[in-house]
Amino acid sequence: LVQLYIPLNFMGMLYREIKQALIDIDDMFRIIEQNPEIQDKPGAKPLEIKQAVVRFEDVHFSYIPERPILKGVSFEVPAGHTVAIVGPSGAGKSTISRLLFRFYEPTSGRILIDGQNIADIQQTSLRKVIGMVPQDTVLFNDTIGYNIQYGRWDASPEEVREAARLAQIDRFISNLPEGYDTPVGERGLKLSGGEKQRVAIARTILKGPPILVLDEATSALDTFTEKEIQDALDRVSRGRTTLVIAHRLSTVIGADEIIVLDHGRVVERGNHTSLLALGGVYASMWNRQREADQARETLKRAEEEE
Ligand code: ADP
Ligand code: MG
């Protein structure tokens, strides 16, 4: 039995490794498809993380030459702080996160992490220190446990559970008949947008990167889920340098700095209170969103009374 057990166990390990290799290749193809030109410079060094300060210096960018998307964007996220980027759809917010991940390179200007230009460092070392919680999480066709474990392969089952607990998804998983072994994805259990996002948050907590990029979902989640997700995000961003593309008012209020982007330019910046006092783009965005929220609340209450 022992003899049989060992090879099976070994094959299991091998299988997992091959599967990870396949996923990494998938990721690679996605990146290559996006832009085959981004390559490490000869002799590129790995990034050295000290405090994890992120800095954009007069960044210009266009996907196609005749259409500039970012027109001189500068900002800094100090170590452990949170900067929120807000602005209308198409303003260039997600482009900023793609440039930080170096899916593309600025046409001019620089992006620095702890003083090192990300154009000069090894891409793998860059992606290792950045955790990304995207707007729409795509789950692998595997168990829910695997989907969290993906954040760090050497994490113990206890660490996986702890990450899930912090991301407020542990109770949900534990109540499933097969628990962490429940298959998810196209061929398994379908998760709601909020549940998928919490799986992504758990994965990121497990990875524990010094820099976080959060692209919040635009869709109106119900208030309860929204609060749960906000709590989970607050936990994961504590003590980490965080850039958040913000849609939720609660994130915006708490951010150390809010950057208002419009047509690829920073049109206003400051904290929530100072931007409201300014009475400009941010203030009108805020008021519009508040009215929408109130209208939704009224509607819900009317429905409940019926
Ligand atoms: P936001 O996140 O603020 O809504 P994005 O950064 O996604 O905006 O996009 C900014 C602009 O760049 C949009 O006009 C969008 O159509 C354009 N854009 C985004 N991705 C590409 C691409 N791969 N090729 C060409 N244009 C793009
Ligand atoms: Mg976007």
Q: Give residue-wise pLDDT tens across range 224-243.
A: 667 777 787 888 888 899 99
Spacing, Cα 264 to ligand 1 middle (Å): 10
- Per-residue confidence at 206, pLDDT binned at 50, 70, 90? very high
**Complex ipTM:** 0.98
Spacing, Cα 43 to ligand 2 middle (Å): 34
Q: How many CB atoms within 10 Å of residue 44? A: 16
Spatial separation of the C-alpha atoms in residues 85 and 83, rounded to whole Å: 7
pTM, to two decimals: 0.81
Spacing, Cα 111 to ligand 2 middle (Å): 19
Q: Which of 46-50, 109-113, 294-298 has the lowest mean pLDDT?
A: 294-298
Q: Average the pLDDT over 7-23 and give the result.
A: 50
Q: b or e along 61-84 (b: 16 or more beta carbons within 10 Å of the residue's beta carbon)?
A: bbeeeeebbbebbebebeebbbbb
Strand order across the 241-245 sheet: 130-133, 211-215, 241-245, 82-86, 257-262, 265-270
Q: What is the pLDDT of residues 267-294, one digit of tens each?
A: 999 999 999 999 999 999 999 888 887 8
Instruction: For a ligand 1 pocket test, name from 66, 95, 98, 104 the mutation site with the most ligand atoms within 8 angstroms of its C-beta.
Output: 95
Residue 153 pLDDT greater than 70, yes or no: yes
Q: Average the pLDDT over 142-157 and give the result.
A: 94
Pocket of ligand 1 (CB under 6 A): 63-64, 69, 87, 89-95
What ligand is nearest to the CA atom of residue 261? 1
Q: Mean pLDDT score of the chain, rounded to an integer?
A: 85
